[in-house]
A and B are shown apart, each in its own frame.
Chain A
Amino acid sequence: MARAQKPKQSRRPQAKSLKQNNLRGFAKRQSLKSQRSSKYSESSDVYEYQPENVRRSKVKLQLEKDELDGARRDISGSEDEDDGPKRNGLRPRLVGENDDEGGLGSDEDEEIDSDEAFDESDEERFAGFNFSTKKRSLQSRTVPLIDLNEDEVELEEAPSENASASEGEDSAADDEEEGDPEDFIDVLDMIDGKGPAESADEGEHTQKEERPSASKARVEGDDVPHLEDEDEDMHDEEDEGISSDESEEDESHISPMDDAISASGDEDDDVGTSLHDLQSFITNLDAGQKRKAPDDEAAPTTETGEARRQKRRMLKERTEAGEENEFAPHRGATKLNLDDLLNPLASSSSNLLSLKKSAKILTSISAKNQTLSAPLPQRTQERLDREAAYQQTKEEVDKWSATMKKIKEAEHLSFPLQAQPAGRTSNLELAAKFKPTTELESAVDRLLKSAKMREEDIAQTESLKMNHLSVEEVSARRAELAKMRELMFRAEAKAKRVAKIKSKTYRRIKKKEKAKIAAKLGEGSDDEDMNEETRMKHEVERARERATLKHKNTGKWAKAMRARGDLDEDQRRDISEMLSRGEKLRRRIQGIGSGDESEEGEDDTEDDEEGAADRIKASAFEELAQLDKGSEGEEDSGRKGKSIFEMKFMKDAIARDQQRAKQMADDFVREMGESNHEDDEDDELTGGRIEESSGATIERVGGRVTYRPGAQQSQLRTVNSLASDTSSITLRSNDLPSDVARSVTPSATSPIPEKLGIATEAPNPWLAPRQDPAKAVPKKHEIAVSKDSASVEKSKNKLRKKAQKHEEEQSKARNDAAVDISMSNVMTLGDNSSAGPSKPKTRSQSGNQRDDGDDDSDVHSEVEEQERLLDRKGKGKANGVKAFEQRDLVARAFAGDNVVRDFAEAKRREMQEDAPKEVDTTLPGWGSWGGTGTRKAQPKPHLIKKVAGVDPTTRADYKKAHVIISEKRDKKAAKYMVKDLPYPYTSKAQFERSMDIPIGTEWNTRVGFQRGTLPKIVTKPGTVINPLEKLL
């Protein structure tokens, strides 16, 4: 197939010009044929053999490699034998293929003429090429070349002839038609692919022709199939020119090219008349131009089949050879013109004129399209036409694409789409059309007319008024008016611009300027008054400063004072007072802060070092002592002050409190003393459990979350601790609400964690167990019902007041912190320690059994393993210390991420929230008596609301420590959920947004509603909707 494609490649449809060329070429060929047929009856039709050329080209392609080899070895000249078998091996295949295309008669190939075998690229290639060389080459032919060709021709023709022998010409033609279509398309493709390659070769070819450097050029020629084709074209033509037996087969078409070749072939033998020569030359001109390698032709007749290689060699050698004559002038730098050729004949004959004419046609055809192509087979032609027509229709139809896109994308369509738009009438139009019809209108019109107030009347009166003024006057007036208008306009614009300025600084500056101006104006006014005024101003400023607690000397007033330099006593005192006050406040703030810091620091150090425990104890004792001292001091101050604390019951209460505190402190001291020893043992037994359990504490201070290990208060702070906490309220106020929320819940369901086996706090042995009944009682209240919140509040207030007292009395903030620490520690951990002791016991009993789901066990299991190993070995204390160090390291490494515990905590909270509970909805003061001596009324059952939650035991995640399964699915809300994101939406947010916006009138403006509910397609009933039309 590839072979067949080759020539057709050149047949690429060059639009209409090609067709014209075809026609023209055909006409000319016919005319020439008729002329020549008598003289050169023996010359055969070129087209008949074109197919052979074509086929050969394929052979060449297949042999290419061999040939390449051959060409290389050619120089040595011994490869004929080697090539022989190969070629023979190929030939059968060739025949087979011919059989495949068996339908291809010899005449069908007429269409594939040599003209068409050339395309633009060829022409380009030969643009700078002269025919003289060709001429020359024609004259000098080599025997072997031709001979080989004949061989091949015979070989190839044999099958085709056999095949087509029985068939008529028509059937052959038919076959070809059917065979073509695919070829054609392929060829198109190939052309596309090949074009550039050929053009690239172009330079090489020209070079090659100029310099016959044998084998190399040949190889190049092989590379480009076209070249081969052309070569073979030439060969065939020569064959035909010489051997008449083949030409007998088909004489129906005699192409000018053939004539030309035959003529040139004859030239060697006998030189015909000059006219004939010229004609043949000219005819040769158009056809022969495409011959790339005219050298090849230079072979007359020989029959030796083996001479292929030789032929090649000769080709290269003989390129430039050739005798010079009028038809083949010496090749020069200038291009050969047709006129140059015709000039010598100018005087000879009258036929020349007609010749010239025909030549003119050839020359006039643009340089690009000098080749004429034969008409395509009808079927192919039709297909092409259909293709083109379809493209046309496509293009035509594609003009609708913009419209269609618009319709597709339109949000709303109102049919019919191409309805005539109702034109809008302008006011002028209406006014011009207006004629008073009703009584009222006519009355108004009459009035206007009488008052001469109608449009045209007004214009008229104006013109009348202007009548008796001179031109200068009018212009002057106009100028003045214009000026005024201009000024006004500018002033207005400026004022507007100024009014728009929002800058405060600008305003201030403006104000100052104004004040300055005012001051300048009123310079003579009284100084004393001013002074007084300024003094008043100063006073006010200072008051404001004090009110706003601007205690630094950066305030306005302070600055003013400083700037003044000389101050009287009062002012100096004021300033110093202010500064001292500021200092005091700062110190107080810092003092508290530092106390906290020290506390934290202690915690840290406690974590950091083993020996820290002692230090903590020491500090605790210290704090206790301070507390004692403080309370004493408080007593003292209490005596001095005259306040509510003077009253007896208050004193009693304070005393009771103090006693309790003391008792607590004593207990604590005693316990600490005892447990000092216990502790050491315990420590070794339970390992780092104490500290691990204490874990990390998350504390929110001033909007910042700090994670630090080892401080257990904040997380486990209960209501009581919160209440006691008040001394540090200034610093911790930020996390109060969350603390309340957090702290209420754990107290309510303290049993649950135990039940679930979730580990709570490990025991902190140096902290006192819960002993204090006074603290425990309110806790119980809170557990039952949260109605006690009021009492909680009260007690909290009380405590706060007390704490404030402390604060006032104690000048040092550190003491406050100490109190805070001690109290909270005692209360919170006392609570937890109740659960604590049982744990370690069980753990110690179970030995090395690992407790699952426990908070830190996962993290520290490895460490514990090590420790246990050490324990088993029964090593001394030193080892224990070492182990602790390592554990400590680990603890430090994982200080922050107490995930397991957090998870447990979260789960507990979740369960708490879902658990059934009772809410007291009693409003204090409602439905009960007030005043002194009233008993507290029983909670009314109808005011206690029971919230039926999910019982912890019925939960789906009950006894599944590692999961939290939410029980919060709301059936009513479920129907608003969708499984997947619906189709047109691309994101959840998008969908939610679209569902969020209601479209009803209740939630939209009228216009919004109308827009929101406008259907996509609106049709009016009873309106014919016509199809789209081209509107011109």
Chain B
Amino acid sequence: MVKISVLQHAPSTHLPARPGDPTPTSRNLDPLMHPFARARERTRALNAVKMERIFAKPFIAALEGHVDAVETMARKPGTLNVVASGSWDGGMIVHDISLRRHILRVDEAHKGKISGVCFADEDRLLTCGVDRNVKLWDTREVDENGAGPSDVRKPLNVFPGKSAFNSIDHHRTDPIFATASNIVQIWDETKSAPISNLSFPTSIETISAIKFNLSESSVLASIGSDRTFTLYDIRTGKAERRIVMQMRSNALSWSPTFPTTILLASEDHNLYTFDIRSLKTPSQIYKAHVAAVMSCDWSPTGHQFVSGGWDRTVRIWQEGRGTAPEVYHTKRMQRVTSTLFTSDAKYVLSGSDDGNIRIWKARAHEKLGILDSRERAAIEYRESLKQKWKTDAQVNKISRSDFLSLFASVYIVADRQLSSLSRTRHIPKPVHKAGQLKRTMLEAQRVKEERRRKHTRAGESKPTAEKRKVVIAEQS
């Protein structure tokens, strides 16, 4: 008899039991067995951050169509791809940003500039203009009258006002909307006259923007030319509180996840978040723009927001982190007058003086398209490595640098090459110069203030915190 001995592998030990299961690993997880774990992870972190910089290409597309500056944009609630925009020439376009085409285009929607756009509900769009009219539009490609996208559309309804409108916003659920002119007016969609006027007594300012709170939808906020921020409640029908600031604000936006937080884009190059429960001081100051901030919008997650400035840059901020935002710019992008996040928090739109709407990735290095689970795991691993090793000098340096100038084919960059890289993101020269100038001026101011404090009696008091300087007065 022949005895056969066989080397046997029990499949259960090295194969997954079921198709979905992970392959069992025969690895020793004892950390003592891996003395080089740290070094390896650091190298990986370095690679991850280099890859991030290499693949940081945020610009996706530009949507054309407007002849003049894009003054205002609004996304259609509940959709990802529909965005309406209004221009200084009175043209209004509803874009499909995924297909990059116009769903609706009305060239002469208003006489003069369209100052505000918002979606009323499903398919209806409200626009207001300096021609003292609010118009209600049907945004379906073929409306009831059979007018197509390119045909001359007639508004469904026109709400005439007494003075030029500067802004419009629709209530989240109810069929009412608010307009801003020299007063705040609340309108019912079914009525041709405003149902109520809200204004802070003794205020003779022009209200420049107005927004309904998203979660607490009866709360309303406005900013005015008197450097004010005013809070209203349509339930009480009153302007409840007002703060006067050092400089006027240009735009405001309510946080979608933190209902008490509001973001103001100020003329003094900064953005401020306020908690409406205590308006004395801002909860955070965001400093990086080198010119007035013209627009801002929260990401739907409420953890970041986008701002567009007179300095021709778009910046993406992390909530609570007052410096070093991501900077987007292109050569041909002019003053950014409107910015918008899409509802999936993945993309950012910017409308600028040059009449284009640009689509950007909210995270510059993010890979678009479908990811399989392994790739996603790898990406997540890289992200967490970057997060973990951000304290490492080299990792930090690379993450702050700009790889755009490098060839994408440079996969491995030796450390000495890195040292020659610029240490910060590349920004246009005028912006850079403006930043330098601003820094110089601020420094001079600081020095002067310091000297004043040192040598004069007036300066004996303690220096005020930057946050305390923002609000001049809080009025009730």
| Chain A residues at the B interface, C-beta cutoff of 8 Å | 379, 382-383, 385-387, 389-390, 392-394, 396-398, 400-401, 404, 407-408, 413, 415, 417, 975-976, 978, 982, 994-1006, 1009-1010, 1012-1015, 1017, 1019-1030
**What's the minimum C-beta distance from A16 to chain B, rounded to whole angstroms?**
15
Chain A residues, Cβ within 8 Å of B190: none
**What's the minimum C-beta distance from B217 to chain A, rounded to whole angstroms?**
9
Q: How far is the CA of A1020 from the CA of B345 in the complex (A)?
A: 9
Considering the complex, which residues of chain B in the window 383-415 have a beta carbon less than 8 Å from any beta carbon of chain A? 383-385, 388, 391-394
Whether a CB of chain A sits under 8 angstroms from the CB of B214 is yes
B388 touches A999 (CB 8 A): yes
Q: How far is the CA of A400 from the CA of B256 in the complex (A)?
A: 12
- A417-B257, A1001-B381, A1019-B301 provided; 8 other pairs, C-beta below 8 A? A387-B476, A390-B476, A392-B233, A397-B260, A401-B260, A998-B40, A1024-B300, A1028-B215
Chain B residues, Cβ within 8 Å of A1021: 344, 346
B258 touches A976 (CB 8 A): no
A1028 touches B257 (CB 8 A): yes
Whether a CB of chain A sits under 8 angstroms from the CB of B19 is no
Whether a CB of chain A sits under 8 angstroms from the CB of B143 is no
Chain A residues, Cβ within 8 Å of B34: 998, 1002-1003
Q: How far is the CA of A542 from the CA of B384 in the complex (A)?
A: 67
Give the residue name and chain of the B residue nearest to A416 (CB): B300
Chain A residues, Cβ within 8 Å of B241: 386, 390
Q: How far is the CA of A1009 from the CA of B380 in the complex (A)?
A: 10
Q: How far is the CA of A999 from the CA of B45 in the complex (A)?
A: 11
A975 touches B37 (CB 8 A): no
Q: How far is the CA of A717 from the CA of B378 in the complex (A)?
A: 60
Q: Which of B42, B344, B394 has the most CB of A within 10 A?
A: B344
B233 touches A393 (CB 8 A): yes
A975 touches B394 (CB 8 A): yes
CB-CB nearest 9 A-B residue pairs: A1027-B256, A1025-B300, A1027-B214, A389-B236, A390-B240, A998-B37, A982-B391, A1013-B380, A1013-B384
Give the residue name and chain of the A residue nearest to B415 (CB): A975
Q: Which of B22, B216, B301, B392 contacts A975 (CB 8 A)?
A: B392
Whether a CB of chain A sits under 8 angstroms from the CB of B146 is no
A1012 touches B392 (CB 8 A): no
B80 touches A1024 (CB 8 A): yes
Chain B residues, Cβ within 8 Å of A1025: 256, 300-301, 343-345
Q: How far is the CA of A976 from the CA of B36 in the complex (A)?
A: 12
Whether a CB of chain A sits under 8 angstroms from the CB of B78 is yes
Chain A residues, Cβ within 8 Å of B345: 415, 1019, 1025
Chain A residues, Cβ within 8 Å of B343: 1024-1026
Q: Which of A379, A385, A386, A401 has the most CB of B within 10 A?
A: A386
Q: How far is the CA of A975 from the CA of B44 in the complex (A)?
A: 14
Chain B residues, Cβ within 8 Å of A394: 276-277
A1027 touches B300 (CB 8 A): yes
Q: Which of B22, B25, B240, B392 has the most CB of A within 10 A?
A: B240
Whether a CB of chain A sits under 8 angstroms from the CB of B140 is no
Q: How far is the CA of A413 from the CA of B80 in the complex (A)?
A: 20
16 contacts between A and B (CB under 8 A): A392-B236, A393-B219, A393-B236, A394-B276, A396-B216, A400-B216, A400-B260, A415-B345, A978-B391, A995-B388, A1001-B381, A1003-B31, A1013-B380, A1013-B384, A1024-B79, A1026-B256
Q: Which of A392, A975, A1013 contacts B381 (CB 8 A)?
A: A1013
When A389-B238, A404-B259, A407-B258 are in contact, do A1019 and B346 touch as well, CB less than 8 Å?
A: yes
Considering the complex, which residues of chain B in the window 187-234 have a beta carbon less than 8 Å from any beta carbon of chain A? 201, 214-216, 219, 231, 233
When A975-B394, A995-B388, A1019-B344 are in contact, do A404 and B40 touch as well, CB less than 8 Å?
A: no
**What's the minimum C-beta distance from A597 to chain B, rounded to whole angstroms?**
45
Q: How far is the CA of A1009 from the CA of B394 in the complex (A)?
A: 25
Chain B residues, Cβ within 8 Å of A1005: 29
Give the residue name and chain of the B residue nearest to A1030 (CB): B215
Q: How far is the CA of A994 from the CA of B42 in the complex (A)?
A: 13
Q: How far is the CA of A1012 from the CA of B240 in the complex (A)?
A: 46
Q: How far is the CA of A1019 from the CA of B236 in the complex (A)?
A: 37
A1015 touches B380 (CB 8 A): yes
When A392-B233, A393-B233, A1027-B256 are in contact, do A975 and B393 touch as well, CB less than 8 Å?
A: yes
The B contact surface, by secondary structure, is loop
Q: How far is the CA of A390 from the CA of B239 in the complex (A)?
A: 9
Chain A residues, Cβ within 8 Å of B385: 999
Whether a CB of chain A sits under 8 angstroms from the CB of B303 is yes
Chain B residues, Cβ within 8 Å of A997: 31
What is the 8 Å Cβ interface bit string for chain B, positions 442-472, against chain A (1 contact, 0 not)?
0000000000000000000000000000000
Number of interface residues of B (CB under 8 A): 56
Chain B residues, Cβ within 8 Å of A994: 388
Whether a CB of chain A sits under 8 angstroms from the CB of B77 is yes
What is the 8 Å Cβ interface bit string for chain B, positions 329-346, against chain A (1 contact, 0 not)?
000000000000001111
A404 touches B258 (CB 8 A): yes
Chain A residues, Cβ within 8 Å of B276: 393-394, 397
B344 touches A1028 (CB 8 A): no
Give the residue name and chain of the A residue nearest to B261 (CB): A404
**What's the minimum C-beta distance from B257 to chain A, rounded to whole angstroms?**
6
A1014 touches B380 (CB 8 A): yes
Give the residue name and chain of the B residue nearest to A1025 (CB): B300
B240 touches A386 (CB 8 A): yes
**What's the minimum C-beta distance from A467 to chain B, rounded to whole angstroms?**
46
A1010 touches B344 (CB 8 A): no
Chain B residues, Cβ within 8 Å of A998: 31, 34, 37-38, 40-41
Give the residue name and chain of the A residue nearest to B34 (CB): A1003
Whether a CB of chain A sits under 8 angstroms from the CB of B27 is yes
A1000 touches B41 (CB 8 A): yes
Whether a CB of chain A sits under 8 angstroms from the CB of B441 is no
Q: How far is the CA of A407 from the CA of B259 in the complex (A)?
A: 12
A415 touches B300 (CB 8 A): yes
B257 touches A398 (CB 8 A): no
**What's the minimum C-beta distance from B148 to chain A, rounded to whole angstroms?**
27
**What's the minimum C-beta distance from B74 to chain A, rounded to whole angstroms?**
14
What is the 8 Å Cβ interface bit string for chain B, positions 231-266, against chain A (1 contact, 0 not)?
101001011110000000000000011111000000
Chain A residues, Cβ within 8 Å of B216: 393, 396-397, 400, 1030
**What's the minimum C-beta distance from A595 to chain B, rounded to whole angstroms?**
46
A397 touches B219 (CB 8 A): yes
B260 touches A404 (CB 8 A): yes
**What's the minimum C-beta distance from A12 to chain B, rounded to whole angstroms?**
17
Q: How far is the CA of A1024 from the CA of B31 in the complex (A)?
A: 42
What is the 8 Å Cβ interface bit string for chain B, positions 45-89, against chain A (1 contact, 0 not)?
000000000000000000000000000000001111000000000
A995 touches B38 (CB 8 A): yes
Chain A residues, Cβ within 8 Å of B380: 1013-1015
Chain A residues, Cβ within 8 Å of B44: 1000
Whether a CB of chain A sits under 8 angstroms from the CB of B377 is yes
Chain A residues, Cβ within 8 Å of B215: 400, 1027-1030
A398 touches B41 (CB 8 A): no
Q: How far is the CA of A484 from the CA of B29 in the complex (A)?
A: 50
**What's the minimum C-beta distance from B361 to chain A, rounded to whole angstroms?**
11
Q: How far is the CA of A401 from the CA of B343 in the complex (A)?
A: 24
Q: How far is the CA of A1023 from the CA of B344 in the complex (A)?
A: 5
**What's the minimum C-beta distance from A403 to chain B, rounded to whole angstroms?**
8
Q: How far is the CA of A1013 from the CA of B382 in the complex (A)?
A: 8
Give the residue name and chain of the A residue nearest to B22 (CB): A1006
Q: How far is the CA of A978 from the CA of B29 in the complex (A)?
A: 27
Give the residue name and chain of the B residue nearest to A980 (CB): B391
A393 touches B231 (CB 8 A): yes
**What's the minimum C-beta distance from A840 to chain B, rounded to whole angstroms?**
53
Q: How far is the CA of A1030 from the CA of B38 in the complex (A)?
A: 46
Chain A residues, Cβ within 8 Å of B388: 994-995, 999
B277 touches A1003 (CB 8 A): no
When A379-B201, A995-B38, A1000-B40 are in contact, do A397 and B259 touch as well, CB less than 8 Å?
A: yes
Q: How far is the CA of A449 from the CA of B122 in the complex (A)?
A: 54
Q: Which of B239, B259, B343, B344 has the most CB of A within 10 A?
A: B259
Chain A residues, Cβ within 8 Å of B344: 1019-1025
Chain A residues, Cβ within 8 Å of B476: 383, 386-387, 390
